[in-house]
Every structure is written in C-alpha cells, then in structure tokens.
Amino acid sequence: MLQLHAPVVALMRDVARNVVMPRYQNLASSEISEKADADDLVTIADKESEIRLAEGLAAILPEAGIIGEEACAADPSILDRAGDGLNWIIDPIDGTGNFAAGKPPFGIMIALADAGTTLAGWILDPISGRLCHAMLGGGSHIDDERVQARESGGALPIAALAVYFMTPDERADIALRSQDRFALVDIPRCAAEQYPRLVLGQNDVSVFARTLPWDHAAGTLFLNEAGGRCQRLDGTAYVVGDMRRGLLGASSPRLWDMAAELLFR
C-alpha cells in the first residue's frame, strides 16, 4: 500500500490544481445540473475530475476496477460490483452543492477497497491543501503527521447530524432523542470535511443516513484508524457494497456507545 501513496496524492493534487480549482467560483449556470436524485447536483468539474482521476488510478493500479460517483449516476449497475474484488472508489468532488454555490467546504475523496474492506483512503481539501489519509492497520495522518481522534471536551458532546435523507418521522425522533443530550451544530454537507472534524475534536458525533461508498469508504477508515469509531447503527463494520442505510461516527468508542444508546436503542 505504501508504494501507492505518493502517486495517488500527486494525482489528487494535480486534479485539484488543474481541474477543480479553476472552476471554483467560476461556473456558468449551464455547467451545473441536477441528478435524478433530488437535492443532488453535478457540475462540469465533477465530471472532468472523475475522468482524470479514473485514468490516473487505472495507470497506478491497472488490476483494480473503478467505482466513480458520476459513472454510477450514469449507469447504476456499476455500483453492484462495489464490494467485489479490488476497486478504486472515487468521489471527484464531495460537497458539490457547496462547490456549485462557490463556497467551502468540498473535497476530493479516493479509497481502495478489496472485497468490501477499505485498505486505504485519501481526503484532499483543494482550498487549504490539507490531506487526510489512512491505511488499514497503519494509522491515520494529516499531511505527514500521525493523528489520534480526540473528543471536544464540551459540557455536552457536539453532534452534527445529517438528517436530510431521513424520513420526517426519523428526523422528528432523532431530534427528540438529541434534546438536552447533545449540543447540535450545523453539518457541512460534505463528508470530506465532517470526518476530519470528528478526528480533530471539532465534533464528537455524526450520523449519516445515506452511506454510498464514495462518501464514506475513505472517511470511515480515517476515523477508525485514528482511534475513533465509525460503524453501522447495529455496531457492525461499514463494508463497501453494503447498501444499507445508517452510519454512526464518533471521536471515541465511549462516545459511540453513548450516542448509539441514546439515539437508536
């Protein structure tokens, strides 16, 4: 895995510099469209970024398949093989809604998975250049520094709850369960930002309803390898290709157990 790190990072930084950032705050209305799923945008930068990333990753590791967000939007059957064999998982721009609105945060996310197990993950912030990355069994790093997840230390745990893909009843239930138990904060609508917040002590708990692999493969590995915990609501591991809903992340196992009990039991 280590020999893959440098070429993957070089590719991501090249795409961020030459494809993504030139389009940031520089999109024509005709270059933004809505996908079939409501509240899900795509831009010309997403499409161009995925093409460049897919070509580069195929050259780095030709034996791996490619599971890209935009390719799956065009052909949903591609997602059916996400848990089979060795695959690159690509989110060409995570947080497209923010990117299209000309505001941060947004990021590029890449993971390498084998038979559903994430082996390595990379999360790049194109604006700041911050790179979060992890390898299975190798810990988590931000740029060149190894990091350990830490709690915020607030009087109440800080919770960022992504409830916009929940049903109205589910949203009402989680709001009631959260009352006076968590300090609720706005979500960034960008998993590439939310996972670092859990590691860096900015947030303690996060709930995700939709768990598509390009949004979560890299982030779950990064949080778990940093000593936090990200698992399904029943306590089982997140597996690429498992299309169940619901994922709970926390900056420590202690907070994960507490949040699971309060919010979902």
Sign of CA dihedral 95, 250, 202, 121: negative
Question: Is 93 annotated among the ligand-binding residues?
Answer: yes
Which residues touch 13 (CB under 8 Å, ≥6 apart)?
124, 129
Question: CA quadruple 161, 167, 172, 176: dihedral positive or negative?
Answer: negative
Sheet holding 158-162, edge to edge: 183-184, 158-162, 205-208, 247-250, 229-231
Annotated binding residue at 125?
Answer: no
Residue 143, annotated ligand binder? no
Q: Which amino acid is at 52?
A: R
Q: Are 125 and 95 in contact (CB under 8 A)?
A: no
Flag whether 94 is marked binding.
yes
* Nearest-5° Cα angle at 85, 207 to 246: 15
Burial environment of residue 25 by CB neighbours within 10 A (0 to 12, 13 to 18, 19 or more)? exposed
CA-to-CA distance for 253 and 229, rounded, in angstroms? 6
Residue 69 counted as an annotated binding residue: yes
As to burial, measured by CB atoms within 10 angstroms (0-12 exposed, 13-18 middle, 19+ buried), residue 196 is buried
Binding-site residue numbers for Mg(2+) are 69, 91, 93-94, 215
Binding-site annotation, residues: 69, 91, 93-94, 215
